[in-house]
Structure 1
Amino acid sequence: MRRFAQPLLLALPALALAVAGLLHPHHLTYDTSWRWFTLHLPGLLAFPLVGVALAALVGARTDPLAWAVRLTAYVYATFYTALDVISGVAAGYVTHELGPGVPRPEAVSLLFRIGTPLGEIGSWALLATCALVAVDQLRRHGARGAVALVLLPGAWLVHVDHIFSPKGVLGMLLIAVGTALASATDATRRES
């Protein structure tokens, strides 16, 4: 059981975001605003933890590839959290506070105008992190490390569709699976 603890722990943030994505409204209106707001609050914790989990896959190594994984994971965590705060928490809160029947004001659109490009930087950094993790796994484990390649389509789906169902949910599920499999591959190698 202990052998599966770390892979499951590292998969948990992306898995939680996949579940949240099943509940995430596709559009922000007054009727969806409270759910939009409340779903993004725990996202403040979960989104950065996806980056932490990916960075954990390189352990305490100090080689350039390990540092590149940490750096891109940090950029992802920082910029994607900014998206979550602005386009999630702030836009949802303001829309709800305006009340029913009020058309979305320009101020809320301005929140998306700044949040979206910040999230774009974050999602490109997530793609870079996943690519670097895959290269690291392949370099260290050969064909067994190919399990990390599942991270790439996962990161791409998050890039194009956030955590919206179905594509974004599938993307986060693939990141959860890829992170767990890479961690399990590392654990298997340490044991042998």
Structure 2
Amino acid sequence: MRWSTAALAATPGIVLAIAGLFHPTDLTVATAPTWWQLHIWLLPVFPLLGGVIVLLLRGERGWVSWIARIAAYVYAVFYTGLDVLAGIGAGYVTDRAGGPVPAVRDLLNMGNDLATYGVHAFLVAAIATGIALVRRDGRAAVPGAVVFVAAAVPFLQAHIYWPVGGLSMLGLAIGAGALALARREPA
């Protein structure tokens, strides 16, 4: 059971790291189709990082775990805004217009503004999750918590862009998997 939960917890980070290999670093006419189509495929995946936090915290009732859950929700909402505006919207408009138009810059800026709230909320969620799980599972959870929180830091700026963002996603996968494996079974 713990191994299947660990695999489930690691999956979103692994999928996002792989997707990061294909994510263009710049939005241009040439990259626009890949840009917006990739964001459509990732639309249901990014919120799953918040779902991982909910999975890891199952059964927890303390206030720290509720801070983590609420912050994970805020992340999922605001990061989805980035995906829709700067990912799908800006990419699609660039693709269909055959080049950059002023609205594209606006979509990118608005999406990035929303993402700022989302990634900071994710960092708060990661820290609160680490605290709650170390309290619950003791020293066994420390390595996973450290990796999970440390991997959330580069997510603030690098998103899933390789190499930093992709490695951040792999770190989130490893940390989440380790936290799932460290779970103490209820007596």
What TM-score, normalized to structure 2? 0.95
SS of the residue corresponding to residue 51 of structure 1 reads helix
Q: Does the CA contact (< 8 Å) of 2:151 and 2:172 recur in 1? A: yes
Q: Out of 21-30 and 7-16, give the one that drifted further.
A: 7-16
RMSD over aligned CA atoms reads: 1.3
Q: Corresponding residue for 1:156?
A: 153
- Cα distance, 1:61 vs structure 2: 2.7
Q: Does the CA contact (< 8 Å) of 1:33 and 1:96 recur in 2? A: yes
2:168 to 160, 165, 171: 171
SS of the residue corresponding to residue 31 of structure 2 reads helix
Which residue identity is paired with 2:95? H
Which residue identity is paired with 1:153? A
d(CA) in 1 for partners of 2:2, 2:172? 20
Q: Does the CA contact (< 8 Å) of 1:14 and 1:46 recur in 2? A: no
d(CA) in 2 for partners of 1:42, 1:154? 23
Identical amino acids, percent of aligned pairs: 36
Q: Does the CA contact (< 8 Å) of 1:124 and 1:159 recur in 2? A: yes
d(CA) in 1 for partners of 2:157, 2:48? 20
Which aligned runs of 4 or more in structure 1 are off by greater than 4 angstroms? Answer: none
Superposed CA offset, 1:51-78 (max 9, x none): 0111211103322122111100000000
2:138 to 138, 142, 157: 142
In the alignment, structure 1 segments of 5+ residues that lack a partner are: none
SS of the residue corresponding to residue 60 of structure 2 reads coil
SS of the residue corresponding to residue 25 of structure 2 reads coil
- Cα distance, 1:191 vs structure 2: 7.2
Q: Corresponding residue for 1:83?
A: 82
d(CA) in 2 for partners of 1:134, 1:3? 18
- Cα distance, 1:152 vs structure 2: 1.6
- Cα distance, 1:14 vs structure 2: 1.4
SS of the residue corresponding to residue 30 of structure 1 reads coil
d(CA) in 1 for partners of 2:2, 2:154? 29
- Cα distance, 1:31 vs structure 2: 0.4
- Cα distance, 1:140 vs structure 2: 1.6
Aligned ranges 1:37-52 → 2 under 5 Å: 37-52=36-51
Tell me how many residue pairs correspond in the alignment. Answer: 186
In the alignment, structure 2 segments of 5+ residues that lack a partner are: none
Aligned ranges 1:19-168 → 2 under 5 Å: 19-99=18-98, 102=99, 104-146=100-142, 147-168=144-165
